[in-house]
Amino acid sequence: MAKKTVPSVRDALRVRPGSGLHLGPRDTPVGPATKAEAADLLAATGERLAVLQEALYAESRRSVLLVLQGMDTSGKGGTVSHVCGLVNPQGLRVTSFKAPTRQELRHDFLWRVRKQVPPPGYIGVFDRSHYEDVLIARVQELVPREVWDARYFAINEFEAELAEAGTTVVKVFLHISPEEQRERLIARLETPAKQWKYDPADLVARSRWTEYEEAYRAALERCGTAAAPWYIVPADRKWYRNWAVASVLLETLEELAPTPPEPTYDVAAELARITYADPWG
């Protein structure tokens, strides 16, 4: 369990439904103030995460699903690399959701998502998710209003179902400023090794920033449920972002408090077998 004396990162960053959510300013209400401090805290967090993840895997009874959303360049990939890289890849399942294929479009929007829900023992990470179906689908009018409008309800039902079945859903909105996005897009274009990450459609989306922000606001407000809360992570500084997401994940695992199962065999008898009755001893 999280100690009561430590201020909870989740409490500080959680979206409270009906609280008249506004997305900015991107201040940092808790946590490290410098990059060096963040590095120390992240290392310590990583060690505790690794222990708890092994226990989750050993227990093999429940799972955690971390959903990452945010504008282009907000750092979803970087978060996967720096935060999820702290735990054993054996117990991790990362899924990157691209534009749906023709086959996927023939099904309900949750069809492809259900197949990627982490099984017991695993931490699943969604780099983009079913929320795209109320974000780009809404802003770019890929489907009629009544279709995307019904999806908030479907998402809440789906996530409540997951919670019921033992999957703790943690949703993180990586919140960057348009100024920071501009810098990052320019950096991508100016760095040959990063040019493959750039897509001219990024600037189309950028030109509709306010509409996207409104779509995010709606998703966070309508789907920030007790069963599957949203967290807003200030993401203009990568070191703050990594620390914050790692901390939200750590607090989630601490609350779950997974414990490896008790041995179903007789430990002393097994030790005796290998100590005294071993042909290779």
| Per-residue buried b or exposed e for 36-56, using 16+ beta carbons within 10 Å of the residue's own CB | eebeebbeebbeebeebbbbb
Which residue, 227 or 271, has its beta carbon nearer to its own copies? Answer: 271
For 62, 63, 117, 215, the CA distances from 167, given in Å and listed in that order, are 6, 5, 8, 26
Choosing from 127, 159, 236, 251, the residue that interacts with its own copies (CB under 8 A) is: 127
Which residue, 255 or 270, has its beta carbon nearer to its own copies? Answer: 270
Pattern 171-210, its own copies, x by CB under 8 A: -------xx-xx--xx--xx--x-xxxxxx--x--xx-x-
**Distance from the first to the final alpha carbon of the chain:** 43
**125 DSSP β-pair partners:** 66, 94
Helix boundaries (H) for 84-208 = 102-105, 111-114, 136-139, 145-164, 178-190, 201-207
How many positions of this chain bind its own copies (CB under 8 A)?
A: 48
CB of 111 to its own copies, least distance (A): 17
CB of 95 to its own copies, least distance (A): 10
Choosing from 18, 20, 144, 281, the residue that interacts with its own copies (CB under 8 A) is: 281
CB of 18 to its own copies, least distance (A): 30
With contact defined as beta carbons under 8 Å apart, do 91 and 123 qualify?
yes
The answer for residues whose C-beta is within 8 angstroms of residue 162's C-beta and 6 or more apart is 65, 117, 169, 228
The verdict on 81 binding its own copies (CB under 8 A) reads yes
The verdict on 96 binding its own copies (CB under 8 A) reads yes
The answer for residues whose C-beta is within 8 angstroms of residue 198's C-beta and 6 or more apart is 185, 188, 189
CB of 164 to its own copies, least distance (A): 24
CA distance 77 to 222: 26
Q: Which stretch binds its own copies (CB under 8 A): 145-153, 166-174, 238-246, 267-275?
A: 267-275
Question: 């179906």: which residue's tokens?
Answer: 133
Q: Which stretch binds its own copies (CB under 8 A): 37-45, 151-159, 221-229, 270-278?
A: 270-278
Choosing from 18, 89, 101, 146, the residue that interacts with its own copies (CB under 8 A) is: 89
Please give the distance of CA 36 from its chain centroid, rounded to a whole number. 24
Q: Which stretch binds its own copies (CB under 8 A): 8-16, 140-148, 250-258, 262-270?
A: 262-270
Q: Which stretch binds its own copies (CB under 8 A): 2-10, 29-37, 90-98, 146-154?
A: 90-98
CA distance 93 to 137: 25
The verdict on 19 binding its own copies (CB under 8 A) reads no
For 21, 98, 207, 208, 230, the CA distances from 13, given in Å and listed in that order, are 12, 27, 28, 26, 8
CB of 215 to its own copies, least distance (A): 17
Interaction site with its own copies (CB under 8 A): 54, 58, 77, 80-81, 84-85, 88-90, 92, 94, 96, 125, 127, 178-179, 181-182, 185-186, 189-190, 193, 195-200, 203, 206-207, 209, 260-261, 263, 265, 267, 270-271, 273-275, 278-281
